[in-house]
């Protein structure tokens, strides 16, 4: 989970949408729900998981802020992970459905030139 990140992608938003998002982020930060991150801060967890020997061979878990996320019964802001999100049977079903959808999309797509 990279968290909320301000990046150049928001340049495509209208001024009104950007202002509303910034106001919402300020309120959430003041309430302690989360804080916006720089792109480097947002990338830190992904880089940690890709490169750190501390997590070699670990999979199927949810990480935020370079730590394994706490399993929670109800989300508070954007922190934590719900128990059902870690269910291996649900993960397998999601993978299978995703494979079928990708296969169907590839067969329907025109051939590349």
3-state SS track over 93-109: HHHHHHHHHHHHHHHHC
Distance CA 40, CA 7 (A): 10
pLDDT value for 1: 84
Give me 71's structure tokens.
């399993």
The full set of domain ranges for the chain reads: 8-82
pLDDT value for 113: 61
Q: Model confidence over 1-50: pLDDT tens digits?
A: 888 888 888 889 999 998 998 898 889 888 877 788 999 999 999 999 99
Mean pLDDT over the full length of the chain: 89
Distance CA 78, CA 34 (A): 7
Distance CA 77, CA 28 (A): 8
Confidence class of residue 96 from pLDDT cuts 50, 70 and 90? very high
DSSP code, position 79: B
Question: Which residue did the predictor score with more confidence, 76 or 48?
Answer: 48
pLDDT value for 35: 84
């Amino acid at each position: 989970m990279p968290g909320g990140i301000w990046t150049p992608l928001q340049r495509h938003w209208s001024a009104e949408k950007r202002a509303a998002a910034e106001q919402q982020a300020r309120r959430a930060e003041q309430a302690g729900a989360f804080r916006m991150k720089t792109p480097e801060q947002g990338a830190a967890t992904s880089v940690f998981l890709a490169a750190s020997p501390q997590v070699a061979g670990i999979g199927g878990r949810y990480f935020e802020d370079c730590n394994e996320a706490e399993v929670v019964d109800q989300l508070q802001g954007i922190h934590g992970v719900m128990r059902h999100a870690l269910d291996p049977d649900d993960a397998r079903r999601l993978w299978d459905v995703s494979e079928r959808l990708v296969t169907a999309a590839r067969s329907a797509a025109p051939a590349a030139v």
